[in-house]
Amino acid sequence: MQPTELQISAIPGLPEVVAGDNLGRLIVEAIHSAAMQVKEKDVFVVAQKVVSKAEGRVVPLSTIQPSSLAHAWSDIHDKEAAVVEVVLGQTRRLVRMERGILIVETQQGYVCANAGVDTSNAPPGTVTLLPEDPDSSAARIRDALQEQFGVPLGVIISDTFGRPWREGLVNVALGVAGLDPFLDYRGYHDGFGRRLHATVIAVADEIASAAELVMGKTRRVPVALVRGFDYREAEGWGRNMIRPSEQDLFR
């Protein structure tokens, strides 16, 4: 079921992405320019930032009227009030609001810092929002890639998120298309013949993390190719990776 070797490759040569770009087509062109081959079941991991830019999810801060809550919070914690207002606008529930840190449940359901609103690698005076529906974004890119390459492929839209208990950020899967985001061992047996229970691996997150290692934040390499993982083909649904609030002990 699992491979013995994976390759993770950066896809170079993607131009600066702007609103209206067909990201699937840009990736196809980058693949061709780099003379890279595409094989059945290759997984393309695409950084959320370029998806957001292509989808026009870029907000000029000059258009924002900060609320009194945004002003109050930004005054105390030396933040930009317009950025805080954008964060609050992307939020459906505040999970933690202390020590200058805003952990929220976004309108899409992700739990993360600052609702995924980001100032880095965005044009000056603007911030990027998360894609409105990363699963649909992934499916659209997958359609474009499959049409071109004629083989089943997977696409993951990724972002770097912090997490409780551990330092540092890791890449996770927001949107998923073409692969089951989980590998479910329940019902399998271990090396001693004992039935495994409660072991479901979030392989889409692990693939996203693997891809981050070649993507980098200071270079423009927002797309990576993961080859060799024999995933279960499925529609995908990264949204299923979000633990339902009522089952979450930490919300």
> Is 107 near a copy of itself (CB under 8 A)?
no
Can you tell me the distance from the alpha carbon of 33 to that of 97, in angstroms, rounded to the nearest whole number? 46
> Is 33 near a copy of itself (CB under 8 A)?
no
If you write DSSP's letter for every residue of 59-106 in order, what string do you get?
A: EEGGG----HHHHHHHHHHT--HHHHHHHHHTEEEEEEEETTEEEEEE
C-beta of 204: minimal distance to a copy of itself in Å? 8
> Is 16 near a copy of itself (CB under 8 A)?
yes
Can you tell me the distance from the alpha carbon of 33 to that of 47, in angstroms, rounded to the nearest whole number? 20
Choose, by CB under 8 A, the member of 79, 143, 152, 220 that binds a copy of itself. Answer: 220
With both helix axes pointing from N to C terminus, report the angle between 23-33 and 134-149 in degrees, rounded to the nearest 10: 40
220's tokens: 């423009």
Q: Which stretch binds a copy of itself (CB under 8 A): 56-64, 78-86, 144-152, 242-250?
A: 242-250
Choose, by CB under 8 A, the member of 217, 232, 233, 235 that binds a copy of itself. Answer: 217
Q: Which stretch binds a copy of itself (CB under 8 A): 50-58, 64-72, 129-137, 208-216?
A: 208-216
Q: Are 104 and 87 in contact (CB under 8 A)?
A: yes
C-beta of 157: minimal distance to a copy of itself in Å? 15
> Is 165 near a copy of itself (CB under 8 A)?
yes
> Is 20 near a copy of itself (CB under 8 A)?
no
Question: Under rule CB under 8 A, which residues in 48-87 are in contact with a copy of itself?
Answer: none
Choose, by CB under 8 A, the member of 62, 63, 78, 166 that binds a copy of itself. Answer: 166
Angle at 24 between CA 183 and CA 175, to 5 degrees: 35
> Is 1 near a copy of itself (CB under 8 A)?
yes
Q: Which stretch binds a copy of itself (CB under 8 A): 24-32, 51-59, 129-137, 164-172?
A: 164-172
Own/partner contacts of 78-84, CB < 8 Å, gap of 24 or more, are 83/117, 83/119, 83/127
C-beta of 152: minimal distance to a copy of itself in Å? 18
Q: Which stretch binds a copy of itself (CB under 8 A): 24-32, 55-63, 80-88, 236-244?
A: 236-244
Can you tell me the distance from the alpha carbon of 199 to that of 192, in angstroms, rounded to the nearest whole number? 16
Choose, by CB under 8 A, the member of 19, 72, 151, 196 that binds a copy of itself. Answer: 196
Question: Under rule CB under 8 A, which residues in 171-190 are in contact with a copy of itself?
Answer: 171-172, 181-182, 185, 188-190
Can you tell me the distance from the alpha carbon of 156 to that of 159, in angstroms, rounded to the nearest whole number? 10
Can you tell me the distance from the alpha carbon of 152 to that of 42, in angstroms, rounded to the nearest whole number? 8
C-beta of 197: minimal distance to a copy of itself in Å? 8
